Chains A and B, each alone.
Chain A
Amino acid sequence: MSKLIEVKDLNIYYGDFLAVEDVTMTIEPKSVTALIGPSGCGKSTFLRSLNRMHEVIPGAYVTGDVTMDGENLYGRYVDPVSVRRRIGMVFQRPNPFPTMSIKENVLAGVKLNNRRLNKSDSEELVESSLRGANLWEEVKDRLDKPGSSLSGGQQQRLCIARTIAVKPEVVLMDEPCSALDPISTLAIEDLMTDLKDDYTIVIVTHNMQQAARVSDRTGFFNIAGTGKPGKLIEFDDTEKIFSNPSNKATEDYVSGRFG
């Protein structure tokens, strides 16, 4: 059920401001694609345009094409809601619903997709999703406690469980580990390796080692200066990007000689 995403000549705007310019890339199914680059170069912006979350910001829009297995996600008759159901997203800051219990959080997306779910099915789904997110053992005795009662790392894994519970075809993650300790980070990295058997994964990260460890392909974004649009500088196999990049700026960035 994982899908191939092709991005062509994508320009992303916030009102008049062109934030990301002319991106073309192919995201392979059943793989992890990492996006790296300096702060403000448009990685989050680009990621959010893949599941049409970009346009929820007033005045924001894109031009160009994003297709998933040949279907244009920005087609005229495509409902952004159905795109988001198929392309899940994990945010930089953990955002479980504070008014819901752990269990309700996991089921939040499923309730939207298919309201009738009997008790045993939903219990099964809660368990399998939480196991999938490596959280089951820690929370199985307190599923009815509020989601906000968990630690930051646990909350982030709860958000991952919530995302995979709806069985999306693609999972987007925006710096999912930036607020986490090394152990939770490792847990989430392991999780990504597991998840890519079933899902297409795109992850934004500032952590070079993480990109090198988990991803199959890496894209490097950069900006020429403040107010200028971000651009995709180089996109290649992760190994190549980190050992022998073809662009000087990429080499400087991955080797830490940036700026």
Chain B
Amino acid sequence: MSTTAQTPAQTSSKPVRRPGDRIFAGLSTASGILILTTLVGVAGFLLWQAWPAITADPSEVRGGQGLLYYIGPLVYGTLVAAVIALLIAFPLSIGIALFISHYAPRRLAQALGYIVDLLAAVPSVVFGLWGVSVIGPMMLGIQAWSVDNLAFLPFIGGPASPKSMLVTGTVLAIMILPIMTAVNREVFLQTPRLHEEASLALGATRWEMIQQAVIPFGRSGVISGAMLGLGRALGETMAVAIILSISARYTPIITSPANPGTIAADIALQFPEAPTGPPLATLVASGLVLFCVTLIVNMTARWIVSRRAEFSGAN
């Protein structure tokens, strides 16, 4: 038999590796390295360009009072806008995705799925313009109402404005909704039939089945989707630049026109007039900070996902 003849050769040498395996392993290693070098390259470039601002005399930096003074409020504003967007988009995207995956009749579900995917393709400038001309005015009423009735809340305050952080966050939420919904829908659709039936057979209603089988199974996917959305909200430029006019430093209030702006929008707005030297470097430095914030957010998400990996159902 030919197999017996091969055995000694196999045991004496290394385990056999097929060319396909080797090529694939090579390719995936190469792409991994490529991503890493790109990342390091970008960070290195930003650091190099930002260096003049870091070392410069505080008075030479944009704003004239040092780097932290300039970037601090922008980081704060970026986070506020992104968090508002996530708070709105997270429950909505889960709701819409569940409706598409588990409630809607099949034809309707397909149509809705396409619409959501189409929304994801709308350019952000369009959302920005729509935000100023439609969403802002539309939300003026509810903001004015909050200012009148909910002013005891620390983040509510007048004068109500269509150019507020809340409007920005809402527009951002609409922008990140499609991608988050698409991710959630995919993971919810992948819940094994077996687990859904296990739950139903125990006497779960459809909603209980979703809580028991679908959502826990999709948990890590949902978090990944939220991080994708958050990343986009953090980096979104045009929509924010169109809506907000930067006019304050740290403020907790999200309903008035006074706001610290966001990093990406600030870069877009300032860049045309940015000269050279430390003022330009200041903008690059704020870009570097944005890069770090996004990285930290993503790593935190990975960590959250991996903490309960053994319960993930991925086995």
Which chain B residues numbered 191 to 206 have a C-beta less than 8 Å away from chain A? 192, 194-195, 197-205
Taken together as a complex, chains A and B put the C-alpha atoms of A58 and B193 apart, in Å, by 13
The minimal Cβ–Cβ distance linking B70 to chain A, given in whole angstroms, is 46
In the complex, whether B212 has a CB less than 8 A from a CB of chain A is yes
| Number of B interface residues in the complex (CB < 8 A) | 25
B198 lies within 8 A of A91 (CB): yes
In the complex, whether B158 has a CB less than 8 A from a CB of chain A is no
- Known contacts A98-B311, A146-B310; is-contact A56 B200 (Cβ 8 Å): yes
Q: Flag the segment in A78-86, A196-204, A230-238, A246-254 that touches B.
A: A78-86
In the complex, whether B127 has a CB less than 8 A from a CB of chain A is no
Taken together as a complex, chains A and B put the C-alpha atoms of A146 and B217 apart, in Å, by 13
B205 lies within 8 A of A81 (CB): yes
Which residues of chain B are within 8 angstroms of A98 by Cβ–Cβ distance? 195, 217, 311-315
In the complex, whether B213 has a CB less than 8 A from a CB of chain A is yes
In the complex, whether B216 has a CB less than 8 A from a CB of chain A is yes
Interface residue from A93, A149, A166 paired with B202 (Cβ < 8 Å): A166
In the complex, whether B148 has a CB less than 8 A from a CB of chain A is no
B208 lies within 8 A of A89 (CB): no
Which chain A residues numbered 147 to 184 have a C-beta less than 8 Å away from chain B? 148-149, 159, 162-163, 166
B203 lies within 8 A of A166 (CB): yes
Of listed A53, A84, A95, A96, residue having the most chain B CB within 10 A: A95
B203 lies within 8 A of A99 (CB): no
B203 lies within 8 A of A100 (CB): no
Taken together as a complex, chains A and B put the C-alpha atoms of A148 and B219 apart, in Å, by 17
Interface residue from A82, A95, A149 paired with B203 (Cβ < 8 Å): A82
B203 lies within 8 A of A97 (CB): no
A84 lies within 8 A of B201 (CB): yes
B204 lies within 8 A of A112 (CB): yes
Taken together as a complex, chains A and B put the C-alpha atoms of A100 and B199 apart, in Å, by 12
- Known contacts A98-B313, A99-B313; is-contact A91 B197 (Cβ 8 Å): yes
- Known contacts A82-B203, A91-B194, A108-B212; is-contact A99 B310 (Cβ 8 Å): no
B201 lies within 8 A of A89 (CB): yes
Nearest B residue (CB) for A101:
B311
Which residues of chain B are within 8 angstroms of A159 by Cβ–Cβ distance? 198
In the complex, whether A88 has a CB less than 8 A from a CB of chain B is yes
Which chain B residues numbered 155 to 214 have a C-beta less than 8 Å away from chain A? 192, 194-195, 197-205, 208, 212-213
| Number of A interface residues in the complex (CB < 8 A) | 31
A112 lies within 8 A of B203 (CB): yes
Of listed B202, B204, B208, residue having the most chain A CB within 10 A: B202
A84 lies within 8 A of B200 (CB): yes
Taken together as a complex, chains A and B put the C-alpha atoms of A65 and B205 apart, in Å, by 23
A53 lies within 8 A of B212 (CB): no
In the complex, whether A109 has a CB less than 8 A from a CB of chain B is yes
Which residues of chain A are within 8 angstroms of B208 by Cβ–Cβ distance? 112
Which residues of chain B are within 8 angstroms of A91 by Cβ–Cβ distance? 194, 197-198, 201
A84 lies within 8 A of B202 (CB): yes
Task: Fill in one digit per residue for A109-140: 1 if any B CB lies within 8 Å of its CB, else 0.
Answer: 10011000000000000000000000000000
Which residues of chain B are within 8 angstroms of A82 by Cβ–Cβ distance? 203
A53 lies within 8 A of B200 (CB): yes
In the complex, whether A51 has a CB less than 8 A from a CB of chain B is yes
The minimal Cβ–Cβ distance linking B276 to chain A, given in whole angstroms, is 55
Nearest A residue (CB) for B218:
A99
A149 lies within 8 A of B310 (CB): yes
Which residues of chain A are within 8 angstroms of B219 by Cβ–Cβ distance? 99
Taken together as a complex, chains A and B put the C-alpha atoms of A112 and B208 apart, in Å, by 7
Interface residue from A51, A108, A113, A149 paired with B199 (Cβ < 8 Å): A108
Of listed B201, B208, B217, B314, residue having the most chain A CB within 10 A: B201
Task: Fill in one digit per residue for B211-241: 1 if any A CB lies within 8 Å of its CB, else 0.
Answer: 0110011010000000000000000000000
A148 lies within 8 A of B313 (CB): yes
Which chain B residues numbered 273 to 315 have a C-beta less than 8 Å away from chain A? 310-315
A84 lies within 8 A of B203 (CB): yes
Of listed A81, A99, A159, A163, residue having the most chain B CB within 10 A: A99
Taken together as a complex, chains A and B put the C-alpha atoms of A148 and B192 apart, in Å, by 14
Taken together as a complex, chains A and B put the C-alpha atoms of A98 and B313 apart, in Å, by 5
- Known contacts A98-B313, A99-B216; is-contact A53 B201 (Cβ 8 Å): yes
8 interchain residue pairs of minimum CB distance: A98-B313, A85-B203, A109-B202, A99-B216, A89-B201, A95-B194, A84-B203, A95-B198
Given contacts A56-B200, A91-B197, A166-B202, 14 further A-B contacts (CB under 8 A): A53-B201, A84-B203, A86-B203, A91-B198, A93-B194, A95-B198, A97-B199, A97-B213, A97-B216, A98-B311, A98-B313, A109-B202, A112-B203, A166-B203
